[in-house]
Structure 1
C-alpha cells in the first residue's frame, strides 16, 4: 500500500519541447515588434503629414489610436495623400 502512495507522489515528467517552442516565440515576438513599428510609423506620419488638413489629421490620429493596427494599415493604404495629393 505504501509503494502505491510513493509512486503517486512522483513528479510527472514533461516531454521535451525542444527548439520548436523557442523558434515559435522568436517568430511571434518579431511579428509583434514589426506590427508595433508599423503602428508607430503610421501615427507619426499622420501627425507630421503636411498634405493633411488639421481636421483630417485629428481624425486619422483618433482612428489610428482607437483601431490600433487596423487603423494604421488603413491610413497607410488610403489616407497618406489627403485631399491635396489627389488633385482636388
Structure 2
C-alpha cells in the first residue's frame, strides 16, 4: 500500500518530466528543420536549446519562434 502511495506522489513529476522532454525535442526539431540558415542564427539557437535544456526551449518558443513565423510563415 505504501508503494502505491509513493508511486501516486511521484506520478505528477514523472509526467512533467516526460512532457518537458517531449517539448524540448519538439523545439529542437523545429529549430533544425524550419529555422532559416542565414548567418549563424540556426547554430546559435540549437546551442541555446541544447545547453539550456527546457529553459532554452522555452526561450526559443516564446522569443524566436513567433518572430520566425511572422517573417517566413513557417
Gaps of 5+ in 2: none
Aligned to 1:8: none
Task: Normalising by structure 1, report the TM-score.
Answer: 0.67
Aligned length: 71
RMSD: 2.4
Aligned to 2:41: 56
Aligned to 2:71: 85
Q: Which is higher, the Rg of structure 1 or of structure 2? A: 1
Gaps of 5+ in 1: 1-15
Q: Which has the higher helix share?
A: 2
Task: Normalising by structure 2, report the TM-score.
Answer: 0.78
Partners in 1 of 2:30 and 2:61 — Cα distance?
9
